[in-house]
Amino acid sequence: MKNNYEILSPAGNFESLVSGINAGCNAIYLGGEKFSARSKAINFSNEDLIKAVNYAHLRKAKIYVTINILIDDSEMEDALKFAKFLYEIGVDALIVQDIGFAINVRKLFKNMEIHASTQMAINNLYGAKFVESLGFERVVLARETELFEINRIKKNTSLDIEAFIHGALCVCFSGECLMSSMIGGRSGNRGDCAQPCRKKYEIYDLNKEKIAESANFLSTKDLNTLDNVEDLIDRGVYSLKIEGRMKRPEYVSQIVSTYKKSIESTLDEIDYENTTQIFNRGFTKGLFYGDFGRDFISYDRPDNRGILVGEVLSKNRNTYILSFKKDVSEKDGLEFRTNNGYFGTRANFNIKAGKIVKFETNKDIKVNSQIYKTSSDSLLNSLREDINEEKKFHDISIHGEFLLGKYPKLEIKLGDYSVETYGESIVEEAKKAPLTEEKIINNLTKLGNTVYNACDINLKLDENIFMPVSLLNSLRRDAIEKLDAYLLKIDREEIDFNKNDFKVKRDIEDKDAKVSVEINNLEDLKDININSVDNIYMDMRNINDSIVDYIKENNVKLTVVFPKYQTSIELEESIYKLDSFIDYVDGVCLNNLAQVEIFKDEDIKKIADIGLNIFNSYTANEFIKMGFEKLILSPELNIKQIRNIAKNFADKIEIVSHGLIPVMTMPHCPMSIVKNCKDSSNCDMCKFAKGFFVRDTMDVDFLVERRDGISEIYNSYPIMLIDKIEEFKKIGVSSYKLNLRGDIEKTIDIYSKALKGYEYSDGKTRDLLIEKFGHITYGHYNRGIINE
C-alpha cells in the first residue's frame, strides 16, 4: 500500500544521494555516465550505480535512472544494453524522453517501470493518456501544467503523477527548447544546454528601436511550493520532485528536510530562512499558481542572491560603515553591490543583529546599498553533520538460544520475515568467567554501520556458559548479511536480446520531390499558386474567419498546424474549430503527444511536426505505425543522421529547408517585464502583439511573437538549404518545408526549380534574407548535436 506522496530527491553524485536519503526522501533520481539530461553533473558509473541501488534499497528508498535525452540511431543498441544493466541491478524505474527508445524498453523489460520525462512535454490529460497507452506507469508533468489538468489526469488515468516542487525552472516548454542548440550546438535535448535563458538581452521593436535596456528577461526565479505542496498532493500529485542534480549535497539535505517538514506541518521561520539561504534566484510559486512577469522572472540577475542581512551606511576612503539586521558569523559569504556589479567575500567578523561594524576594502561599494549573506557557515556545518550522521531505517527483534551442549542459535525478525543462524561449535560450561546475558546483548546489538535498530531482544540461556566472543560476532554478522540479501533481492526474469530484435526495416516508395510551405496570414496565402506546392501549412491560431472564407471560396486545402502547448480544454476547442471547416482541411500537423492521442482514431492525414522530436529511425517507425503519413524531422539532425533515417523512411520524411525555426515556446512574455504585466489577460490588445526582438550581448536579434498566451522565440538567422537539395535528393528525401514570411512566389519558384534539377543561381533570395536578418545558416546540416 502506497503512501499518498513520495519525496523525490536529486543526486548528481553519491554524497548527494546519501544526503537525500538521510534527510528523509523516498526516492532518488540520478543519471549514468551517458544518456542523461544533466551531462555536466558528475553522474554515476556502472559500479557507482550498483552501489547506489544497494545503498538506497537497504534504506527504503527507490532509485530512478534518467535516460531522458533523444537517442541517435547509432546509440540505440548501447542505450538498450544500458537499460538491461539497470534492469538487472534492480533499478526501480527509468525516466525517458525518446519515444522509440521508450517503446523498445517497454517491450523488453515488462516488469520495470518507465516514467515519461518532463522532456516529453506532457501538460494535459490527453498527453497523459497517450503515454499510459504505451505502458508508462508515471508521467512527469511539464512545469507549465495547469492545476485543473492534475485533477483530470488523476481522475481519468491510472498513472502516478510526478511534478516539480522546488528548484530551477526552464522558461521554455521542456523538450522544445532549441535555442542553445541553434546558437552553439549545445542541445538541451542532449543534456548539454548552455542556458541562453540566463543571459542578458535588450528589447527592440520591429523597427529596431530600443524599448528596454539590458536585463535577464528570460531568467526564471526558482520554484518554491512550500506553502502549496499539500494542495498538490490533494489534487493527485504522488511524486514531489526536487530539481538539483547540479547542486551540492548540503542543498539537497536542506530542501528535502524542509519539504518533509512542510508535509508534516512542522515548518517554522528558521526552515523558511534556511531554504532561502541555501540557494535562491528569488522564488516563484510557478506557473501552477499563476505567477507571471516579474513574479516569475529574476530579471535583475540570474544567480544566487542569498538573504538580506544589512545595509551600507557610509564610506570614508576605504572604510565602510555597515549596519546588520541579522546575525553574521566569521566565514559567512557576503555580497555587496558595487558600481561595476557585485563583490563577494567571506566575513572576517562576528556580529549580532542590530549592530554596526567597520569594514575595509578597496572595492567601490555603493553607499546605501544592501548587503546579502550568500552562504552561512553554521548552516553548512549543521547540514554536513546531518549528512554524515548514521541513521537506522529498520527495527528488528533478536532472539538467541545459548544452551549447554547445543549449537548457539540466533533468530532475527524484520516484520514478517526472519533469518536464523547457528554457531559452528557447541556451547560449553565455563571454567572461569561465565558469559553473562549483558555481555551477549552488548555484542548482538553492535549494529553501528548497519541500517538496523534492535528494538526487542529476547535470550534463552543456561547458567555458567562459555563460548568465544568471536562466535557471537559471527552469528550477528551472518544474520545481518542474510537480512541485507533479503532486502536487496532482485526478482526479475532474465532478459536477452540482440540488435536484430528491434531492427527497423521497411520498403520505400518512389515519390516526386515536392515543396510544402508554412505561412502565417491571408496575404501570404493569396500569393501562393496552390498547384506549385504539396502542402500549405498554417497555424491553427492564425486561422480566422477571413481565411476560412477565402479557402472556401477558392477551394484551397490547408494542413492545420497545432501548437506545441495547449491545455486539454484548448485542444478540445481547437478540434471544434477544425470541424467548422473540415472539408477544406488536407491534414493536421501535430506538435504534442496530446494531439497524437486525440487524433489516434480520426480518419485524417496526420503529419508529425518538429515538436514531436523525431530524432531516430525507431521513433520514426513508431509514428508510421501510428498512422502518420509524413514526419518532419528534428532540425537538430545533421546530414549523416538524416541519411540513416532515410534508408527506411525517405518517402515519409520532410526536411525544414528554409526560414525561421522556433527555438523557444513559453507562457512567459519578455515584454511583461518591461510593462510590469500582472497576467496575460491583455496580450491581444498589446501594441507589441505582432512581435518584437530580444537582442543578445553579441548584437544578435531573435524575433518574439505571442499568440493565445504563448510566446515563441525564433532562431536569429533563417535556414536556407537550397544548395543542399541535390544531396538530400540523392538519399531519397522527397519533401521540403519552407517557413515563409513574405517573398512567397519567388522563394517557392527557386526551390521548385532546384527540385527539378536546375542549378541554384538566383542569389536575390539569399541577399534579401541576409539584408533582413543579417545572415543565413545551414542550421545543423553539418554539425548536429552529437558529441562524437
DSSP assignment of 605-635: -EEE-GGG---SHHHHHHHHHTT-SEEE--T
- Residue 722 falls inside a structural domain: yes
- Residue 683 falls inside a structural domain: no
CATH of the domain at 340: 2.40.30.10
Q: Which residues pair with 44 in a beta bridge?
A: 32
The tens digit of pLDDT for each residue in 718-773 reads: 999 998 999 999 999 999 999 999 889 989 999 998 898 877 666 677 787 787 77
DSSP H/E element including 274:
helix 269-278
Residue that the C-alpha cell 516563484 belongs to: 284
- Residues 162, 74: one domain? yes
CB-based contacts of 637, cutoff 8 Å, min separation 6: 615, 645, 780, 784
- Residues 426, 483: one domain? yes
- Residues 87, 135: one domain? yes
Strands 465-466 and 394-402: unpaired
Residue 635 belongs to what domain range? 512-660+718-773
| Distance separating alpha carbons of residues 288 and 223, to the nearest angstrom | 10
DSSP H/E element including 487:
helix 469-487
- Residues 267, 135: one domain? yes
Helices and strands in the chain, H and E counts: 23, 37
363: helix, strand or coil: coil
Region 685-712 average pLDDT: 94
- Residues 431, 478: one domain? yes
- Residues 247, 312: one domain? no
- Residue 735 falls inside a structural domain: yes
- Residue 285 falls inside a structural domain: no
449: helix, strand or coil: coil
- Residues 535, 604: one domain? yes
Please determine, for residue 135, whether its predicted confidence score (pLDDT) is greater than 70.
yes
- Residues 377, 406: one domain? no
Task: Please report which confidence band the pLDDT of residue 476 belongs to, taking 50, 70 and 90 as the band edges.
Answer: very high
- Residue 700 falls inside a structural domain: no
pTM of the model: 0.95
Q: Which residues pair with 413 in a beta bridge?
A: 397, 418
- Residues 240, 352: one domain? no
Number of domains in the chain: 4
Q: What percent of the chain has pLDDT over 70?
A: 98
CA-based nearest residue to 137, from 169, 166, 105, 173: 105
> Helix crossing, 46-58 with 76-88: angle to 10°?
30
Domain finish residue from 487, 522, 537? 487
Please determine, for residue 20, whether its predicted confidence score (pLDDT) is greater than 90.
yes
- Residue 186 falls inside a structural domain: no
The pLDDT assigned to 43 comes to: 82
Please determine, for residue 1, whether its predicted confidence score (pLDDT) is greater than 70.
no
Domain finish residue from 487, 503, 529? 487
- Residue 284 falls inside a structural domain: no
Long-range contacts of 498-503 (CB under 8 A, 24+ apart): 499/77, 501/108, 502/76, 502/80, 502/104, 502/107, 502/108, 502/618
CATH of the domain at 82: 3.20.20.70
Domain finish residue from 262, 278, 294? 278
The tens digit of pLDDT for each residue in 387-445 reads: 999 999 999 999 999 999 999 999 999 999 999 999 999 999 999 889 999 999 999 99
- Residue 235 falls inside a structural domain: yes
Return the DSSP state at 412: E
In degrees rounded to 5, what are phi and psi of residue 507? Answer: -80, 145
- Residues 157, 97: one domain? yes
| Distance separating alpha carbons of residues 717 and 715, to the nearest angstrom | 6
Task: Please report which confidence band the pLDDT of residue 515 belongs to, taking 50, 70 and 90 as the band edges.
Answer: very high
The tens digit of pLDDT for each residue in 184-236 reads: 999 999 999 999 999 999 999 999 999 999 999 999 999 999 999 999 999 99
| Distance separating alpha carbons of residues 127 and 123, to the nearest angstrom | 7
- Residues 239, 366: one domain? no
- Residues 430, 575: one domain? no
